[in-house]
Copies of this chain bind each other. A is one copy, B any other.
Amino acid sequence: MSNNNLIKGSLQTIILKLLEENERMYGYEITQRVKELTEGEIKITEGALYPALHKLEAEGMLTTEIQQVENRVRKYYSLTQDGQKEVSAKMSELQSFVGNLQRILDPEWKPGLV
């Protein structure tokens, strides 16, 4: 669902961060939230999302609980303790990377500006 090939590597961080803020979310909800927040500019494809969720679960970052909602099955994901630690790690990794990117691409750039 995304025209952008830049998400690579940051999808996990996005998932973890959204779950930090929302306690529990299901897959489809995540795709919609991202679409909302970016006004349709970033669309998480299902082919990327579900494997990523399964991987994070296998790594012990997430737990799931399945719930029936109006004849529809929903699989809710939430952070484990390890997952909560991982959010901070992944976030500072990403912020530092974005900072470095600015230093490369924008010689005028100083921390404090976009």
Contact = CB atoms under 8 A, between A and B. Distances in A.
A63 interface: no
Contacts of A107: 21
Report how many copies the assembly holds: 2
A113 B105 CA distance: 17
How big is the A interface, by class?
A: 35 or more
Interface in A60-114: 91, 93-105, 107, 111-114
A103 B94 CA distance: 14
Contact of A8 (B8, B96, B104): B8
A94 B9 contact: no
20 contacts: A4-B93, A4-B97, A6-B9, A6-B94, A7-B9, A7-B97, A8-B9, A13-B105, A17-B104, A18-B104, A37-B100, A38-B104, A94-B101, A95-B114, A98-B101, A98-B114, A99-B114, A112-B114, A113-B113, A113-B114
